[in-house]
């Protein structure tokens, strides 16, 4: 009991920050002259905050594309999961995730695991003027990184849709987003061992998308495919219930990605942010068109789901090197990702790994590609070998830890709903709600 | 007739501002040196403008969650109302609302009612360099506050959905958003009597959400419940027609709330805005999870509508004190709001007040809670008593005035559609349109 | 073969820009003092980038409103087209469109046609510090203008929905957005002949919306109406399949328009941007209400589609003069546009030009109106005659060139799908996909 109290107290201590006495106000009251450097800090800071809001939109994008690409009978369940993940992600990140990811000097096991304590610690006197890179406040740092954290678990959500037990998924998500994600993230962004060996991952092709994508793979394997997906050696396509929702999701993700990548500059540096916006947009454009084209060649029809996933693949593919590749490199990196995603989706189906939304292909496979692409298009200071190594180790770690978590849940609480529940849909049985209960079509043409 | 002409001329005078001769251009042409203070002004200003655009997104959020939570037969009507309210809100605010809310020295009746005249008056020479708090232009002030104004009426819209006459609702909205909302708002934000007694409401738990929520209560009472909702003492749930729309609405509202609260700092102060972003996000997260959990305990199933409303409740609950509560206070304030909303929704149903979207609970009840929470978590300078008093007086005023307006409309034009219209749906009869007329499902699984 | 190689090499040369060595970092490393002017540049730049992201949202808005206003059987096709257009627009703009639109000194034929070469050329050393208007980086310029480029083709997409062959539309779009749009744009924004004769178009009532709208007219004429629209002299309304999608689209377009117009200030000048936000919002509000009112008078029922299109009409109507008209001028310009759009939609139907979403009326007709409105409400330096001339010449050029392109496609590849395809819907036949394949409604009320 005492330990629990200590934890609560540390947590509360870290969270008991009063919001008064702002710097700007204080400086002006003191009659101090506003300097250009202070205003530069303001610009940097407000941009990262806006970028954080844009990354938040990505969670909406994921909720829309995932529910759009699954059947209507599991829609409430998907929306519920995605809402909870954002909330869980932010709260666990505040409670311990942020300090696991950025341990500062508090490394415990080599440069592999560190922890700077529970709660948030914005500095003395309740002031929040702690800088990171001399550019933005502690809370800006927290909220921007916190918005990233939940992303990794959301990626998993898509791959396990339609058959996972709600409770088990929420427990997995809490542990994954609260502990696994930040520890792997600390290896690079926290200054850990991957960072020290020269590994580069600008905004998270590996650390966010690869980590999420390979955990998704673990989930899909442990769960097995949805009922009726693979019958007697045949692949039976299970189509989504709303392509407008899926398209809405893709566009919102692309929109949010301007914050995901643009904010990862960690300042409002004009050259850097505008360059990152350009590479990001060109890679997405290239990924969309190549995936659309390749899918038209492969399946004779231009497939909208593939085009949407192609844009996301292009975005994942540019994320590791958005600031260092050339424009042509960005277009190629995005285009290759668009091609990869088509074949990866087909390939996973062939080996009967059922991923309702293509999350493993988009985020896992293209996450590796994007990381390696830095070595190819980013100039001589980046090594293809180191990039590949980092991507594989991070991906493998995420896979193994997620596999262990899912397996423990499987043998304890169970992770898969019963056949009847899956047949009727998770909405009715798990939530007692239908997504479209009050929907009535009067006339059809 | 003469009076009317005078009105038109005053209005036109206030609106005849030419848009030429911008400060930056002028200064540069004059060869003046750009100072850090000027650039600080630029940063503050552009942030409030971006925040205004984010608050605009909240209107989309309301339109989506309200139509999602009602039946498809009233969808066109809800969308039409929500579109009109934004437009009415902006135009009435330009014509007189802004000057009712910020009377400056032009108080007419104590510090309870003031009016600075019709139209907008950005200062001499058509220049717009009037500052408020030394930080942003007159038009930035107008557009940011104008985006808030329409919110109050939109909140009412949800509670009266499915049975109110379109014309009467639009007349109510015009009067409520144009006159009632700004007068109550002037009590605090215009420097009126609530402000002078030390009442605190950072971004509008009371002044926006409480005011809207208690007007919604008046509307729901005067209108009565939808047909078939309460039959022989039983509550018959009327389910929404699209949970993806509802979820889309919640996420967009959360997104817009970063502007609603973040912009209410009224500058781009790095500490303040980043702290407000953090408390806002944590309260929403906490509200969502607590509402999901409590609803699962109460009704045995984790309810998506409750989770969505829980997030909004958390946001309303933090809005009054987002800049002054501690982080733990934000989490508790949001979580308590999440619990309150579940019991309030159940409670209003028990007393047969039919609120299709839970607007009274989310905005009214949690608006009071959020205001009081400032007294609990905001430090010793805020009094629970004063906070409660202010919230109750503002809420009661909104309730009484809305009740009067709705009652006058009831006995004159009528406010409730006929039974047959309600049965067939407002879309077909009031608009001659179906929301999903061209919708055809080819195959279902 | 050699020519092709030379092209590829020029293209690659222009795109081979490495992203390293950012200005801010470099300056700080060199120990240079940050000046207020540099920070002003930062503010301007980040605002234009945020505005570019907002303009990107408009593409989502178009995708939503177009699919919402057409039948569900053509939804996948519309979403696919809209996704591809953004991608094609960005890539062609990078490859040659940007340099066609802003030829600098490289005019080839008078001030009518110029070309500054293939690829992007951000200046020596891979540095991107080239300013435009002394305010933002080369890449900011590119990405902001690039987001505009795709808009013109997206406007066409709505008018030709439901019957155009996918391949032919994509070829048309590539040529239109890559070549026609930037050449006409160069006449004003590139400093060409329209600019030199005093024509004014702040953000593109003519150059974007007029150009898109009149190309849409050409498309609708060459294609002919959808099957069953005009039967034996009667107009048979073909209703949309999802009004929530349509409303979502309108709100997102309005949201994005804050970037479209606000970013067109080309700086974060506080007066100018806040004034433009205000005129933009008031014109949209006015357009929405007037269109709703006029439609209620004309067709006895307040029509949601008209209200939505009215808001867009108001936005198009203010776009040419958002920075120079008075507030009352903005309200009138928007309101007149709202009335125009109702009669234009009815008028085009009378002459059997079938435009499923009203794009010709909203963008073409109101684009001319908005351009002329600058001459009426913008002060004495703007001539109604010059404005009208410019709008008509630009619109006519877009019409003629689009007509030629569509006609060539018609006689070669064909542009209209076969009757059976149109009857079954483009989704099933062109894409082998249904928009709502997995949609299943369990219960209806």
Contacts of A139 in chain B (CB under 8 A): 271, 274-275, 277-278
Judged against a pLDDT cut of 80, whether residue A370 lies above it is answered with yes
Which among C334, C387, C58 has a CA at the least distance from the CA of C206? C387
Share of chain C above pLDDT 70, in %: 89
Residue in B36, B278, B440 closest to A34 by CB: B36
Look at A67 and B37 and tell me if their CB atoms are within 8 Å. Answer: no
Position A134 scores a pLDDT of 55
Position B442 scores a pLDDT of 54
Q: Tell me what the mean pLDDT of segment B321-328 comes to.
A: 96
Position B178 scores a pLDDT of 96
d(CA A208, CA A315): 12
Which among A369, A346, A351 has a CA at the least distance from the CA of A221? A351
Q: Collect all residues with Cβ–Cβ distance below 8 Å to C293 and sequence separation of at least 6.
A: C302
Confidence of residue A16 (pLDDT cuts 50, 70, 90): low
Position C134 scores a pLDDT of 55
Q: Which of C243, C280, C284, C288 to mutate to test the interface with B (most CBs of B within 10 A)?
A: C243
Q: Is residue C15 part of a domain?
A: no
DSSP code, position B201: -
Judged against a pLDDT cut of 80, whether residue C31 lies above it is answered with no
d(CA B170, CA B91): 13
Confidence of residue C20 (pLDDT cuts 50, 70, 90): very low
Judged against a pLDDT cut of 50, whether residue A275 lies above it is answered with yes
Residues C77-86: pLDDT tens digits? 999 999 999 9
Q: Collect all residues with Cβ–Cβ distance below 8 Å to B94 and sequence separation of at least 6.
A: B15, B119, B120, B142, B146, C282, C327, C331
pTM: 0.95
Structural domain that includes position A385 = 37-119+132-431
Q: Is residue B372 part of a domain?
A: yes
- In angstroms, the Cα distances linking A422 to A164, A416, A419, C64 are 9, 9, 5, 31
Q: Is residue B21 part of a domain?
A: no
B59–chain C nearest CA distance, Å: 8
Which among C261, C294, C266 has a CA at the least distance from the CA of C276? C261
Confidence of residue B6 (pLDDT cuts 50, 70, 90): very low
d(CA B406, CA B396): 15
Judged against a pLDDT cut of 70, whether residue C15 lies above it is answered with no
Cα dihedral B274, B275, B279, B281 in deg (nearest 10): 10
Confidence of residue A445 (pLDDT cuts 50, 70, 90): very low
Q: Which of A107-121, A133-147, A156-170, A379-393 has the lowest mean pLDDT?
A: A133-147
Position C443 scores a pLDDT of 45
Residues C394-442: pLDDT tens digits? 999 999 999 999 999 999 999 999 999 999 999 999 999 999 998 886 5
d(CA B85, CA B80): 9
Look at A300 and C432 and tell me if their CB atoms are within 8 Å. Answer: yes
CB contact burial B10-21 (16+ within 10 A = b; e otherwise): ebeebbebbbbe
Q: Which of B278, B294, B305 to mutate to test the interface with A (most CBs of A within 10 A)?
A: B278
Q: Is residue B183 part of a domain?
A: yes
Q: Collect all residues with Cβ–Cβ distance below 8 Å to B165 and sequence separation of at least 6.
A: B413, B414, B415, B416, B417, B430
Judged against a pLDDT cut of 90, whether residue C444 lies above it is answered with no
Does A135 or C195 have the greater pLDDT score? C195
Residues B14-29: pLDDT tens digits? 555 544 445 555 555 5
Contacts of B247 in chain A (CB under 8 A): 63, 67, 79, 82-83
Position A242 scores a pLDDT of 97
Q: Tell me what the mean pLDDT of segment A286-290 comes to.
A: 98
Contacts of B300 in chain A (CB under 8 A): 432
Look at A239 and C143 and tell me if their CB atoms are within 8 Å. Answer: no
Q: Is residue C264 part of a domain?
A: yes
C-alpha triplet B182, C325, B33: angle, nearest 5°? 90
Position A100 scores a pLDDT of 96
Look at A18 and B379 and tell me if their CB atoms are within 8 Å. Answer: yes
DSSP code, position B252: H
Nearest chain B alpha carbon to A89: B285
Position B9 scores a pLDDT of 46
Look at B281 and A146 and tell me if their CB atoms are within 8 Å. Answer: yes
Judged against a pLDDT cut of 80, whether residue C70 lies above it is answered with yes
DSSP code, position B111: T
Judged against a pLDDT cut of 50, whether residue C88 lies above it is answered with yes
Q: What is the largest CA-CA distance in chain C?
A: 79
- If one counts the domains in chain C, the total is 1
Q: Tell me what the mean pLDDT of segment B373-379 comes to.
A: 95
A60–chain B nearest CA distance, Å: 6
Position C391 scores a pLDDT of 98
Q: Which of A34-38, A88-92, B329-333 has the lowest mean pLDDT?
A: A34-38
Confidence of residue A12 (pLDDT cuts 50, 70, 90): low
Residues B92-140: pLDDT tens digits? 999 999 999 999 889 999 899 999 999 998 875 445 554 545 578 899 9
Position A19 scores a pLDDT of 44
Using CA of residue A65, residue A70, residue A75, residue A81, what is the dihedral sign?
negative
Position A21 scores a pLDDT of 46
Confidence of residue B31 (pLDDT cuts 50, 70, 90): low
C72–chain A nearest CA distance, Å: 10
The ipTM, to two decimals, is 0.94
Say if CB A114 and CB A107 are below 8 A apart.
Answer: yes
Confidence of residue B1 (pLDDT cuts 50, 70, 90): very low
Q: Which residues pair with A234 in a beta bridge?
A: A231
- In angstroms, the Cα distances linking B320 to B291, B360, B374, B436, C226 are 20, 17, 7, 39, 54
Residues B297-310: pLDDT tens digits? 998 899 999 999 99
Q: Is residue C347 part of a domain?
A: yes
Using the structure block, give the residue that is written with the tokens 């699919």. Answer: C67
Both structure tokens of C116:
């500054």
Judged against a pLDDT cut of 60, whether residue B236 lies above it is answered with yes
Cα dihedral B16, B19, B20, B23 in deg (nearest 10): 120
Look at B241 and A437 and tell me if their CB atoms are within 8 Å. Answer: yes
Nearest chain A alpha carbon to C23: A271
d(CA C132, CA C245): 38
Residue B77: alpha-carbon gap to chain centroid? 19
Contacts of A241 in chain C (CB under 8 A): 436-440
Residues A294-344: pLDDT tens digits? 999 998 899 999 999 999 999 999 999 999 999 999 999 999 999 999 999
- Please tell me which chains touch C, using 3 or more CB pairs under 8 Å as the contact test: A, B
Position B263 scores a pLDDT of 96
Confidence of residue A440 (pLDDT cuts 50, 70, 90): confident
Q: Is residue A11 part of a domain?
A: no
Residue in C15, C18, C50 closest to A50 by CB: C50
d(CA A28, CA A43): 18
The residue count for chain A: 445
Nearest chain A alpha carbon to C439: A241
C69–chain B nearest CA distance, Å: 8
**CATH code (residue A98):** 1.10.3430.10
Q: Is residue B25 part of a domain?
A: no
C-alpha triplet B150, B156, B161: angle, nearest 5°? 120
Q: What is the 3-state secondary structure (H, E, C) of B142-180?
A: HHHHHHHHHHHHHHHHHHCCCCECHHHHHHHHHHHHHHH
Residues C352-389: pLDDT tens digits? 999 999 999 999 999 999 999 999 999 899 999 999 99
Q: Collect all residues with Cβ–Cβ distance below 8 Å to C408 and sequence separation of at least 6.
A: none
């Amino acid at each position: 009991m005492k330990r629990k109290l200590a934890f609560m107290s540390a947590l509360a201590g870290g969270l008991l920050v009063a919001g008064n006495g702002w710097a700007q106000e204080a400086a002006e009251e003191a009659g101090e002259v506003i300097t250009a450097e202070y205003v530069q800090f303001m610009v940097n800071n407000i941009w990262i905050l806006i970028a954080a809001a844009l990354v938040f939109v990505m969670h909406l994008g994921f909720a829309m594309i995932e529910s759009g690409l699954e059947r209507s009978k599991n829609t409430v369940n998907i929306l519920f999961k995605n809402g909870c993940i954002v909330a869980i992600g932010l709260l666990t990140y505040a409670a311990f995730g942020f300090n696991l990811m950025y341990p500062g000097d508090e490394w415990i096991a080599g440069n592999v695991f560190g922890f700077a304590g529970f709660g948030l610690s914005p500095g003395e006197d309740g002031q929040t003027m702690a800088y990171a890179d001399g550019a933005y406040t502690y809370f800006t740092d927290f909220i921007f990184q916190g918005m990233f954290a939940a992303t990794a678990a959301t990626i998993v959500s898509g791959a396990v849709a339609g058959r996972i037990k709600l409770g088990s998924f929420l427990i997995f998500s809490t542990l994954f987003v609260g502990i696994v994600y930040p520890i792997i993230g600390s290896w690079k962004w926290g200054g850990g061992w991957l960072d020290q060996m020269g590994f580069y991952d600008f905004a998270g092709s590996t650390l966010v998308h690869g980590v999420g994508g390979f955990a998704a793979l673990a989930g899909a394997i442990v769960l097995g495919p949805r009922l009726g997906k693979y019958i007697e050696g045949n692949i039976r396509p299970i189509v989504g219930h709303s392509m407008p929702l899926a398209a809405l999701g893709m566009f919102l993700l692309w929109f949010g990605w301007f914050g995901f990548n643009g904010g990862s500059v960690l300042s409002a540096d004009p050259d850097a942010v505008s360059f990152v916006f350009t590479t990001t947009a060109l890679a997405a454009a290239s990924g969309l068109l190549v995936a659309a084209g390749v899918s038209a060649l492969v399946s004779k029809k231009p497939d909208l789901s593939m085009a949407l996933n192609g844009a996301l693949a292009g975005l994942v593919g540019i994320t590791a090197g958005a600031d260092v590749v050339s424009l042509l490199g960005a277009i190629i990196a995005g285009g290759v990702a668009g091609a990869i995603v088509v074949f990866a989706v087909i390939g996973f189906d062939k080996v009967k790994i059922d991923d309702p939304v293509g999350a493993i292909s988009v985020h896992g496979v293209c996450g590796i590609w994007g990381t390696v692409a830095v070595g190819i298009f980013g100039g001589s200071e980046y090594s293809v070998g180191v990039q590949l190594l980092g991507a594989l180790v991070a991906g493998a770690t995420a896979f193994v830890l997620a596999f262990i978590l899912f397996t423990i849940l499987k043998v304890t609480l169970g992770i898969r709903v019963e056949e009847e529940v899956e047949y009727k849909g998770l909405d009715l049985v798990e939530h007692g709600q239908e997504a479209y209960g009050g929907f009535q079509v009067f006339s059809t043409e």
